[in-house]
């Protein structure tokens, strides 16, 4: 093969998936700074962000496996498998031409692929529970929103990267996966890991610093987050104000803080 042309819509899907994973992580982080008894009130808000991660993860997984299979199968052969479900495309079709390929040896992959596809099906084909005059005519199949499914979303966001890595174990010569798909998958998984870092910082903020930030007009939740973002090595502007950043994103500038008087700029 000397030349290859291909569409790049999968890249658009990947970048949007990366964005919504980030949106979910930032909201979950914010929720962790709220008082524990307040958090259940935000269950539906979490679900709004969670369901888009689930649906678009499946969209991206479909795009990835179709891309891969199109590089391996003829037009006729691809048409024979095109309408198979997402789980079969990932678990069975590559095994028909790749020696040693299997998801069975990776129970976590099988579990997570099944769980995310089942959740997507319930979202995309939702049927409400309906009872009129007590007749219970429809049981419904909609997911029941739960506050904490953070571990599930982490597995969901990392699933494309893990599935592609497993595929490359049996097809290490696939330049299409190496050069075109792998980096996209890694960028999506990196968002959940980056968000997890900030989430784990919750609870590390010095109480004295929190109180001092609150004296500048911020509520306790915001002050706690700012104290974490400042960290041990604050960044100051030219007039001495404290620059508050989450990663590279500036979120506020605070007046000088006595708690940080003996710290040096970074």
Residues 183, 20: Cα–Cα separation, whole Å: 17
Local confidence band at 247 (pLDDT 50, 70, 90 cut-offs): confident
User: Has residue 1 got a pLDDT over 60?
Assistant: no
Residues 20, 55: Cα–Cα separation, whole Å: 11
Residues 6+ apart with CB under 8 A from 166: 103, 106, 109
Highest mean pLDDT among 14-18, 67-71, 97-101, 235-239: 14-18
Residue 265 is predicted with a pLDDT of: 60
Residues 233, 161: Cα–Cα separation, whole Å: 34
Residues 113, 87: Cα–Cα separation, whole Å: 7
Burial class of 37 by CB neighbour count within 10 A (0 to 12, 13 to 18, 19+):
exposed
Highest mean pLDDT among 122-126, 233-237, 241-245: 241-245
Per-residue pLDDT, averaged over 158-178, amounts to 86
Residues 132, 139: Cα–Cα separation, whole Å: 12
Per-residue pLDDT, averaged over 227-249, amounts to 91
Residues 177, 6: Cα–Cα separation, whole Å: 13
Residue 195 is predicted with a pLDDT of: 93
Quick one: which of 19, 21, 66 has its CA closest to 181?
A: 66
Does residue 173 contact residue 199 with C-beta atoms inside 8 Å? no
**Minimum mean pLDDT among 67-71, 114-118, 192-196, 250-254: which range?**
67-71
Local confidence band at 189 (pLDDT 50, 70, 90 cut-offs): very high
User: Has residue 3 got a pLDDT over 70?
Assistant: no
Query: Three-class SS string for 236-257?
Result: ECCCCCEEEEECCEEEEEECCC
Helices (H), 73-219: 75-81, 86-91, 107-124, 150-170, 175-176, 182-201, 207-214
Residue 204 is predicted with a pLDDT of: 92
Average pLDDT, the chain: 90
* pLDDT more than 90, % of the chain: 67
Per-residue pLDDT, averaged over 212-216, amounts to 95
The first and second tokens of residue 128, run together, are 């409400």
* pLDDT more than 70, % of the chain: 96
């Amino acid at each position: 093969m000397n030349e290859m042309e291909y569409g790049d819509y999968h890249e658009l899907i990947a970048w949007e998936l990366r964005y919504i994973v980030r949106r979910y992580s930032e909201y979950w982080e914010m929720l962790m700074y709220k008082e524990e008894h307040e958090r259940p009130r935000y269950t539906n808000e979490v679900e709004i962000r969670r369901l888009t991660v689930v649906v678009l993860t499946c969209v991206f997984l479909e795009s990835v496996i179709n891309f891969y299979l199109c590089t391996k199968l003829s037009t006729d052969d691809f048409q024979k498998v095109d309408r198979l479900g997402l789980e079969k495309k990932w678990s069975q079709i590559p095994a028909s031409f790749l020696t040693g390929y299997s998801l069975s040896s990776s129970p976590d992959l099988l579990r997570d692929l099944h769980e995310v596809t089942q959740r997507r099906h319930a979202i995309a084909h939702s049927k409400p529970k309906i009872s009129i005059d007590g007749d219970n005519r429809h049981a419904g199949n909609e997911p029941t929103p739960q506050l904490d499914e953070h571990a599930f979303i982490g597995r969901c966001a990392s699933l494309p990267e893990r599935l592609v890595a497993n595929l490359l174990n049996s097809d290490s010569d696939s330049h299409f996966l190496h050069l075109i798909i792998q980096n996209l998958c890694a960028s999506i998984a990196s968002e959940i890991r980056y968000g997890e870092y900030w989430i784990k910082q919750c609870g590390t903020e010095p109480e004295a610093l929190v109180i001092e930030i609150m004296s500048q007009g911020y509520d306790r939740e915001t002050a706690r987050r700012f104290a974490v973002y400042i960290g041990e090595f604050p960044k100051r502007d030219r007039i001495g104000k404290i620059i508050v950043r989450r990663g590279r994103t500036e979120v506020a500038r605070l007046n000088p803080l006595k708690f940080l008087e003996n710290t040096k700029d970074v």
